[in-house]
Amino acid sequence: VRLTPGYPETEPPVLEFECPPGLFPAGLAAELLGQWLPGDFCVCQWAERARDALEAAEPRPPPGSHGRFLSLAGHWAQEELSLLEPGETKAFPPNLSSFQRLILHRLAERLGWPHESHDVLDDEATARKRASNAKETKPPRQIFITRPRKGAPSAKNVDMALEDFLPPLRAPSYGTGSSGPSRTTTTESEPTRATGSPRGSGSAVPSQSSTA
């Protein structure tokens, strides 16, 4: 709730929210504005109404921590792709987990957007260090997603139902997943925003590895 210069004597506050597209009830702001009267201190009441509306509108993940994790990862992926402009390609950070890359691949596939991931080449010093450490034999991988200029869903349509692109709910596996080859418009065969995107969008999602 953002206060205006004339609040509360002559102007109502402004209700603003940052949330996945379509989650905030469209008519709530107009309803609250219609109920406001000059001199009415309504900030706390509005905040409570908005909080209740968001809780009621938010999709309920399956029970259990794994279901909640899937829901968070799905909303994060939707927010990331909703920021791409037509024709823009985004290179995601190479420190994303394999599960995060899997979610991005599945969402891009569902949208019909080109996507690929491949190994990140090491510099000479890093290559020597990796070669000397048996635990660091696998190079990091990086995913690239392109929003087509034409013929693909617009950004506002990225907020599809989570079950349309999330992997099936199952008990999480904490073993090391194997990295399979991937190509454009093909879902990566390994499971995974740990770091912010160049646009600073969304909130960080915890990493979790599983075998897909």
Q: Tell me: the pLDDT tens digits for 39-48?
A: 888 888 888 8
**Structure confidence by residue, pLDDT tens digits, 149-171:** 887 666 555 667 788 888 876 54
What would the pLDDT profile of 47-81 be if each residue is shown by its tens digit? Answer: 888 877 777 766 555 555 666 778 888 888 988 99
Residues 6+ apart with CB under 8 A from 79: 20, 201, 202
195 and 100 housed in the same domain: yes
Task: Clarify whether residues 111 and 136 are in a common domain.
Answer: yes
**Full domain range(s) for residue 24:** 1-58
210 and 118 assigned to the same domain:
yes
> What residue has token string 């909130």?
203
Question: Do residues 159 and 208 both lie within one domain?
Answer: yes
* Whether residue 12 sits in one domain with residue 106: no
Shared domain check, 18 and 116: no
Given 58, 77, 95, which residue is the final one in a domain? Answer: 58
Position 206 scores a pLDDT of 46
The verdict on 46 and 145 lying in the same domain is: no
Which structure tokens are listed for 24?
């905030």
Helix (H, G, I), strand (E, B) or coil at 140: coil
Q: How many domains does the chain have?
A: 2
Report the candidate in 8, 69, 106, 71 with the shortest Cα–Cα distance to residue 209: 69
Rounded CA separation 177/192 (Å): 9
Task: Kindly state the tokens that stand for 146.
Answer: 């392109």
Residues 17 and 104 in one domain: no
Query: Which of 15, 34, 58 represents a domain boundary (last residue)?
Result: 58
Residues in the chain: 212
Q: Name the band, by pLDDT with cuts 50, 70 and 90, for residue 116.
A: very high
Same domain, 54 and 70: no
Strand 141-146 and strand 115-119: the pairing is antiparallel
* Domain end (from 18, 41, 58): 58
Residues 111 and 151: their CA atoms lie apart, in Å, by: 10
Residues 121 and 50 placed together within one structural domain of the fold: no
The residue behind tokens 């139902």 is 161
Distance CA(114)–CA(145), nearest Å, equals 6
Helices (H), 63-119: 65-82, 98-111
Same domain, 94 and 54: no
